[in-house]
Amino acid sequence: MHVVELQQLADRPLPTGAGSERRTRPARDHGTSQAGGMAEVYRAHDIGLDWKVSMKQSLQTLRIAFVLSLALSAALFAQTKIPDWCRTLPRPEYATLQRVQIGDPWYEVYKVAPAIYAIYEPHQFEETISYLIVGDKQALLFDTGMGISDLRKVTAALTRLPIVVLNSHTHNDHVGDNWQFETIYGMDTEFTRKNAQGSREDAQAELAPDQICGQLPKRFDPKTYATPPWKITAYKHDGDRIDLGGRWLEVIATPGHTPDAISLFDRANSLLFSGDTYYPGPIWLYRPETNLEAYGASIRRLAALTPQIKTVLGAHNVPIAPPSVLSRLVTAFEAVRAGKVPATQASGDNVLYRVDDISFLMRRAEAKR
């Protein structure tokens, strides 16, 4: 029954008949039989009043429930409004990877190689991927993601070894949880030192309505979200080697995307961690700190390592790619720089260049030599 129908029912006069007739009798009637009749009148009267009160209370309850239902529906609609990029998830490539179950729904963790875990954040537009690389004596965390949930708790569930942090570069989506760790290596650049002071503006931009897919963590406060500052405990340079115990990682400086961009090479296991120098998806080369000449030199350097590489592990979207992608990356970039690839308008002064499955997001005025 609808609310309107209940209102009409509650407002109707009491039903006619014996009860209503007795109520109209004069109160001054005398006699034992009349007293019994009057008792029946008042009982009927009370029953009628109780019926109307009950109906009105039920109606009020329904009204409140109806309003709450509308409010809840509106809230759920706002929360479940799905951005276009979110509709493509999950990415099919993940179906072939070994999922590691953890207790935090913000992350998905995949074992992509022996003692190597890809920590994926699918609920934010960047789809950032950090890597926990475990040796016999210590582990290295290559990037710390957005800082939206508790990465330290996730890594603690994956290894009990001491963890050192080294960032592929220091954009906010890769350093969000640096502050949680005691040992943090950094590249010896002014860009790194400046970003280690933390920031708020870039972090807040990551929470725009079209940037979130699903629910934020329960204890996360969007209003206070920022990238906290962190302390660099040691500087690293191109060619440095890091001993994890039974596993060595080589630092390869790959500036271009940022001045402090690096890749890590696990030579013994033929694994290249490419950071934002390569990942499947539009590669961002439009920021003020981007240097296209340096980027071109960096990707040529990585492509030269192709015969020694089995897997390329990028920092966004999907964690694995074949080594052949590196030479194709060089070819595509050089074609763009030579003016051989048409541009598609993106946003503002930025344009997108696409060559098969490789694409670059650049500033229009700087794309060509």
Per-residue pLDDT tens digits for 89-138? 999 999 999 999 999 999 999 999 999 999 999 999 999 999 999 999 99
**pTM of full prediction above 0.85:** no
Residue 40 confidence (pLDDT): 46
What residues contact residue 353 under an 8 Å CB cut-off, 6+ apart? 332, 336, 341, 342, 343, 344, 359, 360, 362, 367
227 near 172, Cβ under 8 Å? yes
Mean pLDDT over residues 136-142, rounded?
Answer: 99
Residue among 155, 165, 102, 93 nearest 127 (CA): 93
Topology (CATH level 3) of domain 108-366: Metallo-beta-lactamase; Chain A (3.60.15)
Q: Order the strands of the 241-243 sheet from edge to edge.
A: 241-243, 248-253, 262-266, 271-275, 311-314
In 3-state terms, what secondary structure has residue 360?
A: strand
Residue 309 confidence (pLDDT): 98
Residue 55 confidence (pLDDT): 53
pLDDT band at 65 (very low <50, low <70, confident <90, very high): low
In 3-state terms, what secondary structure has residue 190?
A: helix
In this predicted structure, the answer to whether residue 209 has a pLDDT above a threshold of 70 is yes
* Residues paired with residue 117 on neighbouring β-strands, in sequence order: 111, 132
pLDDT band at 347 (very low <50, low <70, confident <90, very high): confident
pLDDT band at 368 (very low <50, low <70, confident <90, very high): confident
In this predicted structure, the answer to whether residue 19 has a pLDDT above a threshold of 70 is no
Instruction: In whole angstroms, give the CA distance from residue 365 to residue 349.
Output: 8
* Residues paired with residue 253 on neighbouring β-strands, in sequence order: 262
What residues contact residue 127 under an 8 Å CB cut-off, 6+ apart? 120, 121, 281, 316, 317
Residue 367 confidence (pLDDT): 76
In 3-state terms, what secondary structure has residue 230?
A: coil
In this predicted structure, the answer to whether residue 81 has a pLDDT above a threshold of 80 is no
> What secondary structure letter does DSSP report for 212?
B
238, HSE (Cβ side, Cα atoms, 13 Å): 10
The one-letter code for the residue type at 252 is I
Mean pLDDT over residues 314-336, rounded?
Answer: 98
70 near 125, Cβ under 8 Å? no
Share of residues in the chain with pLDDT > 70 (%): 78
Residue 232 confidence (pLDDT): 98
Residue with tokens 């209003």: 223
Average pLDDT, the chain: 86
pLDDT band at 60 (very low <50, low <70, confident <90, very high): low
Q: Which residues of 335-350 are buried (b: 16+ CB within 10 A; e: fewer)?
A: ebbeeebebeeeeeeb
Lowest mean pLDDT segment, chosen from 55-69, 115-129, 271-285: 55-69
